[in-house]
Amino acid sequence: MGTAISLDLADDLPRDELDRLADETFRWLREVDARFSTYRDDSEVCRFGRGELLLSEASADLRLVLERCADLWAATDGFFDAYATGGFDPSGYVKGWAAQVASDRLLAAGAANHCLNAGGDVRVRGRAASGRPWRIGVRHPWNPMATCLVLAGTDLAVATSGVYERGHHVFDPRRGAPARGLRSVTVVGTDLGVADAYATAAVAMGAAGRSWLDRLPDHPHAVVTDDARLLHSTNLPLA
Amino acid sequence: MRRALLAITGLAASTTALVVLKSAPGASQVAQDLPAEAQPAVPGGAAPAGAETSAAPSASAAAPKPSRSAARAPATRPSPTSGARTPSARKTSSKPAQPTTRTVTGPVVENEYGNVQVQITLSGSRIVDAVALELPEDTAQSDQRSRQVDDTYSGTSGLVVELQGADLDTVSGATATSTAYRQSLQAALDRAS
C-alpha cells in the first residue's frame, strides 16, 4: 500500500520490550500488506479477485474482511463498496482494521499507552509520555503542513477520508463518478476499520453524507465541505 | 451546448427567466443592440443546422412569458454591477431587416438553487447558439438537498475552515501516498520525535 506507519509507545517499559512490541506491530502490518495489497499480483486479495482462490480456501483473515466489508456495505446504504472500482478492493477497510488489530495486540501485550498512525488513520490508547491525553490533529484539506481541528482522548479511533490529494478520488458507487461536496470527513469511534469505512462512505455520499453521519450517535464526526466550511458534531472530543 | 439548451428549457418551464433579453457587449454595459461588425463572440455566424432547429422552440417558449422573476431580480441584488444585471433597459430582441448576427445576454435571475444567466446568439431572428454564463454550482437537486441538510443538522453551524493547533502527537488525514507523507505535518512530527 506504500502507507507510512508511525508508532508511539508511551509505556515505561524496558527498551528491549518496547523494541519487541514495535517489531511485532510492523511485522503484522507488513504481513497484511503482503496479503491484502491490490498492488501485488501474488497477494491473497488479488488471487481471490481473479477467482484463483476459492472462499473456502481463503485465510480466516480474508474471510473476516469479506464479511465486514459486506456488513459495512449494508450499514452505509451501499456507499462503502469494496467493489466500487470494478474489482475487489477492500483497502478502504483493511488499513484501519489492520491498525486496530495491532493496537488491540499492543494493549493485550501490556502496552496500554500508545498511538498508532497508519496512513492518517489513528488509534490512540491511554496517555502520551507527558501524561496528558493524546492530541490528534486533523489535517487541513488545503494545507498538508497544517491542521484544522485538534482532538484529544485516551481511547479513540480517528479516521479521515479526503479527496484533497492529487489523483485521489473517492468513487460514488451509485453514479460511478468521483464524489463531490465533502472535501474531508473525519469519523471518531472505537473501531478504526469501521470509522475509516464510515468516513469513506460519507465522502462518497457527497453533501448528503453529513446528515447520514449525523444519525450515528456513537461516531462523532467533522466534515470540511468543498466550499471550505468546517462542521462537526457537538459531541466531538475536541482538545 | 446541449447542456445550455437543457437549462433554457427548464427555466422557461419553471421560472420564466428568459423574458428580458438584451445584448451585452461587455459585462458592465447596459443593453443595446449591436451591429454585426462589432460582434466578436460568434465565429462568422456559422452554426450547425441542428442548433437552430433545437434552440428555436426554447426561445419561443420563453419570449412571451411575463417577466415576474426578472423584475424581481434587481431588488434583491443591490450590487455595484447591477447595471449589467438589471432588466431595466428592456429590449426584447426585435427582428432585424437582414440576418445580422448578434449576441444577447439575459439578466441574472435568482432562483432557489442559485443564479442563472444565459447568453444567446442570433442570426437574424434565429437562435444559433446558447451559452449559460452562470449556473448553480452543482445540480439543483443536490443543492436543495444540502440546504435541507443544513436545516436539520444537529452539529455546529459551519465555520470557515482555519489553521489550528500545535503541540500535537499525531495527525489524522488521508495521506495515502508516500509523497503526501513526505510533504505532511505527520512526517515533520515523526522527524521531530
Contacts of B176 in chain A (CB under 8 A): 1, 3, 119-120, 165, 168
- The whole-number pLDDT of residue A80 equals 92
- The whole-number pLDDT of residue A188 equals 98
Give residue A213's pLDDT band: very low, low, confident or very high (50, 70, 90): very high
Find the residue in A nearest to B193 (Cα).
A8
Across chain A, mean pLDDT equals 92
- The whole-number pLDDT of residue B156 equals 74
- The whole-number pLDDT of residue B60 equals 41
- B93 or A183, higher pLDDT: A183
Is residue B50's pLDDT more than 50?
A: no
Across chain B, mean pLDDT equals 56
What value, to the nearest 5°, has the Cα angle with vertex B176 and ends A40 and A199? 115
Q: Does A150 touch chain B (CB under 8 A)?
A: yes
Mean pLDDT of the region A141-147: 87
ipTM attached to this prediction: 0.92
Find the residue in A nearest to B163 (Cα).
A148
Contact B163 A140 (CB under 8 A): yes
Mean pLDDT of the region A186-194: 97
Closest approach of B193 to chain A, Cα-based (Å): 9
- The whole-number pLDDT of residue A215 equals 93
Least confident range of A19-33, A188-202, B82-96? B82-96
Give residue B143's pLDDT band: very low, low, confident or very high (50, 70, 90): low
3-state SS string over chain A? CCCCEEEEECCCCCHHHHHHHHHHHHHHHHHHHHHHCCCCCCCHHHHHHCCCCCHHHCCHHHHHHHHHHHHHHHHCCCCCCCCCCCCCCCHHHHHHHHHHHHHHHHHHCCCCCEEEEECCEEEEECECCCCCEEEEEEEECCEEEEEEEEEEECEEEEEEEECCCCCCCCEECCCCEECCCEEEEEEEECCHHHHHHHHHHHHHHHHHHHHHHHCCCCCCEEEEECCCEEEECCCCCEC
Contacts of A177 in chain B (CB under 8 A): none
Pairing of strands B114-123, B101-105: antiparallel
What's the grid cell of residue B191?
Answer: 522527524
Contact B170 A8 (CB under 8 A): yes
Contact B161 A206 (CB under 8 A): no
Least confident range of A40-49, A187-196, B86-95? B86-95
Q: Does A133 touch chain B (CB under 8 A)?
A: no
Residues in chain A: 239
Mean pLDDT of the region A1-15: 89
CA A102 vs. chain centroid, Å, equals 13
* Interfacial B residues in 11-40 facing A (CB < 8 Å): none
Least confident range of B7-16, B99-108, B174-183? B7-16
Is residue B170's pLDDT more than 60?
A: yes
- B33 or A43, higher pLDDT: A43
- The whole-number pLDDT of residue B10 equals 39
Is residue A203's pLDDT more than 70?
A: yes
- The whole-number pLDDT of residue B104 equals 80
Least confident range of A37-51, A54-68, A197-211, B133-147? B133-147
* Interfacial B residues in 109-138 facing A (CB < 8 Å): 138
Residue B62: phi and psi, rounded to 5, are -80, -35
Mean pLDDT of the region A75-97: 89
